[in-house]
Amino acid sequence: MGEARLPERLTTAEAAATLDGLRRALAAQPGGAFTVDAGGLRSFDSSAVALLLELRREAQRAGRSLSVTHWPPRLRDLVAAYGVQELLPA
């Protein structure tokens, strides 16, 4: 099982670099579940949801699962607003 953390700030400006780092972490860590800790996330926009959906797709392509822990309430609200809570369960 592998784990990575989301940064404190994740907006459109940081999304590409953050996704690159998470891709590297996913590839470098052993198979099985990959966990992303969102607890440090303080400032974000809808790019955070898009990033998590893309990371989930990449994990699935690698035969792995993705879980997210320590959801900020506003991020959980965004996921629900976009109707993708089944894809990104708490």
- Within-domain flag for 3: no
70 within domain boundaries: yes
| Domain assignment present for 59 | yes
Tell me whether residue 34 is in a domain.
Answer: no
Q: Which amino acid is at 85?
A: Q
Low pLDDT (below 50) residues in the chain: none
DSSP string, 21-54: HHHHHHHHS-SS-EEEE-TT--EE-THHHHHHHH
Query: Would you say residue 15 lies in a domain?
Result: yes
Parent domain of 82 = 9-29+42-90
Full-model pTM: 0.94
Question: How many domains, the chain?
Answer: 1
Q: How many CB atoms lie within 10 A of CB 48?
A: 26
The verdict on residue 74 lying in a domain is: yes
Is there a domain that residue 37 lies in? no
Say what the pLDDT of residue 31 is: 85
Task: Please indicate, yes or no, if residue 4 is contained in any of the structural domains.
Answer: no
pLDDT per residue over 8-23, tens digit each?
999 999 999 999 999 9
